[in-house]
Amino acid sequence: MRHRLISITEKNQHLITYSDFDSYETNDRDISKMKKILHKAIECELTDKQRYCVCQYYLQGRSMKNIANELNVNPSTVTRHIQNARRRLKRVAKYY
């Protein structure tokens, strides 16, 4: 399986939701902190298939059906990988 570098850009940063860490006039510091946490969690906490599906779906904007065709699996399998990844990421985010 080919891996792509995960990057959070202005184009896709609106896809990331997070809780408030501190109450400052701007939240640039909080956004930066959350991006680092999310990047680390994606790299360390997800399986290869979960990581690939999440990155393709959320960061590249591909459909689950398209990802499933590429991986030669059922679309429901891709859905399950993404759901399990989201659960893991939410669990990790609770610690921050």
Task: Record the pTM.
Answer: 0.66
Compute the C-alpha angle 11/66/80, nearest 5°. Answer: 90
Residue 61 gets the label, from left (phi > 0), alpha (psi -120 to 50) or beta, of: left
3-61 confidence digits (pLDDT tens): 555 666 666 665 654 444 445 467 888 888 888 888 888 899 999 999 999 999 999 99
DSSP SS3 for 13:
helix
55-67 confidence digits (pLDDT tens): 999 999 999 999 9
Distance of alpha carbon 19 from its chain centroid, rounded? 15
Look at residue 57 in the predicted model and tell me its pLDDT: 95
All domains of the chain, ordered by start, with CATH? Answer: 13-93 (1.10.10.10)
